[in-house]
Amino acid sequence: MTATDPALTALASGWGALSLLHGRIEAHIERALQSKHDLSVREYSLLDVLSRQHDGDGGHLQMKQVADAVVLSQSATTRLVTRLEDRGLLARYLCPTDRRGIYTNVSEDGLKLLAEARPTNDAALREALDAARKNPELVSLVKAVEAVDAPAQAR
């Protein structure tokens, strides 16, 4: 294969379209969350991930798992947790079975803000996907994104 091979060109084109779609969606959601709730996309994602924890086996996430879920490095995730903790939206505590482990829970204020922000996030996502659907390069990717949740909605 050479750099001008049609298969590589198609892959690069597809990757470019996916990157474009992601960037547009994230920017649109970011503006909506910032203007209405003073939250970034990353802050919203962190609150959302942590709000889904539970007390059963495997219910609380370690910082590496949280970092993977919000697609950040562990150090960036720790800084993000600290920022939200400083705002009173999260609280850290020691793992009851392993004193070396530190868990993070969403506070009542964090859960309230998340509940207020969720409709904004969902509406902004829908708006961004609808706008992207007008671009012929992005139509198939929009359909793919929408299809990911289709099985869950059918239940």
- Is residue 33 within 8 A of residue 153, CB to CB? The reply is no
Sign of the CA dihedral running 111, 90, 83, 60: negative
More confident residue, 11 or 97: 11
Residue 49 CA to residue 69 CA, distance in Å, equals: 7
- Determine the CATH number of domain 18-148: 1.10.10.10
Residue 85 has pLDDT above 80, yes or no: yes
Q: Angle CA(49)–CA(124)–CA(115) in degrees, nearest 5? A: 45
Residue 37 CA to residue 114 CA, distance in Å, equals: 9
Residue labelled with tokens 């649109």: 28
- pLDDT tens, 124-147? 999 999 999 999 999 999 999 999
Helices (H), the chain: 6-37, 41-51, 63-70, 74-86, 108-132, 139-154
Residue 16 CA to residue 51 CA, distance in Å, equals: 33
- pLDDT tens, 14-71? 999 999 999 999 999 999 999 999 999 999 999 999 999 877 776 788 888 889 999 9
**pTM, entire model:** 0.85
Map out the domains of the chain as residue ranges. 18-148
